[in-house]
Amino acid sequence: MKKSPELHKFRTSSQRKEKSHVQYGDAGNSTNRHNLKSHSTLKFIKSATKKVSAIFTIIFLGKRKATSKLAVSDAGRYNYLAREGSSESNYKSFSKFKSFNSFVSSSTSSGQLGTGNFSIEDIYKATEKFSLENKIGEGGFGTVYKGRLEDGCLVAVKRTKKNMQGKHMSEFKNEILTLSKIEHLNLVRLYGYLEHADEQIIIVEYVGNGNLREHLDGIQGNVLEIAERLDIAIDISHAVTYLHMYTDHPIIHRDIKTSNILITEKLRAKVADFGFARLSAEDPGATHISTLVKGTAGYLDPEYVMTFQLTEKSDVYSFGVLLVEMMTGRHPIEPKRPLSERITIRWAMKMLKEGDAILAMDPNLQRSTAANMAVEKVLKLAYQCLAPLRQSRPSMKTCAEVLWGIRKDFREIAISQSSASHHSANFPEKDARKSRRISFEIEDADNYKFISA
């Protein structure tokens, strides 16, 4: 009869223990030798335990390897896709790029970029050789094209300008390194990148419904109503809160603005463009980072501009400007308006202080008790975000919580208004007799004769 491996291991272990015990009882052996033997026995037991655990892990969990802290499980990715209504081909693409995430993760530790996970032929094929028909945007960084991968997944391909030098090259690398560290429903997802000859290309998630600024200007889609604007503001606050608090190392975006907020088909927001992003100070006791000023005019934190000291509260200031934009519909700087209205945040805050927040409200928004209340409360939050001193500004987490409360109040008032208007439509309070006639489609009751039985 064949002995089982477990029984053999047990007996061997017991024999070793007995032998060790006998040697320990030998007066000729030193205490040091006993300690060495005991340590060897413990080491053997630990090793055996690890092997058994590994076998059970393979049996029950399959050969799944953790690629990095960045990579999430397939189930998590699938849930994300299900919420967004993405296709199965997108899910396959995410699985395909898991190895890329691991590769970039290892690259970020050294600060060097490898070759990426796409070939130039893949990019040419996806964008039809950068066809003008696939061009969807352009900026200081370069041009953005719409692309379709072999599995049908839509992507946005950011192609840098030829012979890009200095700061733009650093922005290219910075965006890759930052995007490789993050994963959140309200942040654009990095699929891959490519450096080939004089080509520098980033492949990211495609969001095809324009940006927030285009929606506010009426260039893209229908007018965003206040409920939709509140949803978008909350999405942005969640994304930036994640960057500040829930990444392995806090990230400061440095360029929060409406043109960097992409809008999905379901009118939800995704924060994009991480070229200016910066990791916060590694020292927990540090209050700021000293760095050159980067950002967009109209959104820059004045304290950061004056002191060159960057903190998470600089993003909070930019978010305050964005909230004012969303409520007023105006750009941060309006050069064609009267002098007193050219700086939108100054004008809007003046209206708020004077109790005329309704006058600052975007004329495209429908007026109602609920909408008026929401606009005023959002502007009050913006006022706190725009405080001159960073210590006086709320955190992004607090902003998200306040916005949640505003949306809750808005919905409750809107529902009560709706039920009240429904009630008044069926049972008008004014002129009850006339109302009764209209309700029963009777134009002139005197013309009707009732015949008794």
Question: Which CATH number covers residue 130?
Answer: 3.30.200.20
Alpha-carbon span 275 to 253, nearest angstrom: 8
Q: How far apart are CA 113 and CA 35, in angstroms?
A: 49
Compute the average pLDDT of residues 226-233: 98
Range of weakest confidence among 215-219, 293-297, 334-338, 435-439: 435-439
At 173 the pLDDT is 82
Q: Has residue 165 been placed in a domain?
A: yes
State whether 378 and 288 are in the same domain.
Answer: yes
89 located within any domain: yes
In whole angstroms, what is the distance from residue 108 CA to residue 61 CA? 29
- The parent domain of residue 358 ranges over 218-424
CA–CA dist 327, 317 (Å, integer):
16
177 and 257: one domain? no
Q: Which residue has the higher pLDDT, 110 or 233?
A: 233
**CA proximity to 91, closest of 101, 99, 80:** 80
The secondary structure of 136-185 as a DSSP string is: EEE-SSEEEEEEE-TTS-EEEEEEEPTT--HHHHHHHHHHHHHHTT---T
d(CA 244, CA 252): 7
* Gap between the Cα atoms of 370 and 65, Å rounded: 51
Residues 6+ apart with CB under 8 A from 272: 187, 188, 204, 207, 260, 261, 262
Asked, for residue 448, whether it belongs to a domain, the answer is: no
Q: What share of the chain is helix, strand, coil (3-state, %, to 5)?
A: 55, 10, 35
Note the pLDDT tens digit of each residue in 82-139.
Answer: 333 343 444 444 444 443 444 444 444 444 444 457 889 999 999 999 999 999 988 7
Residue 269, pLDDT above cutoff 50: yes
226 shares a domain with 139: no
**Residue pair 352/389 in contact by the 8 Å Cβ criterion:** no
CATH number for the domain spanning 273: value is 1.10.510.10
Q: Are residues 300 and 405 in the same domain?
A: yes
User: Does residue 181 sit in the same domain as residue 224?
Assistant: no
**Contact call for residues 239 and 186 (beta carbons, < 8 A):** yes
Residue numbering of the annotated binding site: 158
CA-based max dimension of the chain: 128
315 domain-assigned = yes
In 3D space, the residue among 227, 239, 306 whose CA is nearest the CA of residue 272 turns out to be: 239
Asked if 229 and 185 sit in the same domain, the reply is no
Distance CA 290, CA 311 (A): 9
Residue 104 corresponds to which tokens in the numbers above?
Answer: 């970039």
Q: Give the three-state DSSP class for 419.
A: helix
Query: What is the arrangement of strands in the sheet containing 135-138, beginning at the earlier edge strand?
Result: 135-138, 142-148, 154-160, 199-205, 190-196
Same domain, 87 and 180: yes
C-alpha 403: how far from chain center: 16
Query: Which stretches of 26-181 are DSSP H helices?
Result: 31-61, 74-84, 88-96, 98-110, 120-127, 166-179
Whether 252 and 363 share a structural domain: yes
Lowest mean pLDDT among 117-126, 260-269, 321-330, 413-422: 413-422
Residue 370 lies in a domain: yes
**Which of the listed residues 153, 177, 205 is the one where a domain comes to its end?**
205
Domain boundary (149, 180, 205) is at 205
Q: What is the mean pLDDT of residues 221-239?
A: 97
Total of domains in the chain = 2
User: Do 180 and 226 have their domain in common?
Assistant: no
Q: Which residues are catalytic?
A: 255
In a domain, 66, yes or no: no
Percentage of the chain beyond pLDDT 90 is 50
Residue range 310-335, pLDDT digits in tens: 999 999 999 999 999 999 999 999 99
- Do 196 and 240 sit in the same domain of this protein? no
- Binding-site residues from annotation for ATP: 158
Q: Which of 205, 238, 265 is the last residue of a domain?
A: 205
* Residue 232 and residue 169 share a domain: no
pLDDT confidence of residue 42:
57
Binning pLDDT at 50, 70 and 90, where does residue 59 land? very low
Instruction: Tell me the pLDDT band of 196, cut-offs 50, 70 and 90.
Output: confident
DSSP 343: B
Mean pLDDT score, 203-231: 95
Does 127 fall in a domain?
yes
Q: Are residues 230 and 180 part of one domain?
A: no
Domain membership flag for residue 39? no
8-state DSSP, 443? S
* CB count in 10 Å sphere of residue 194: 19
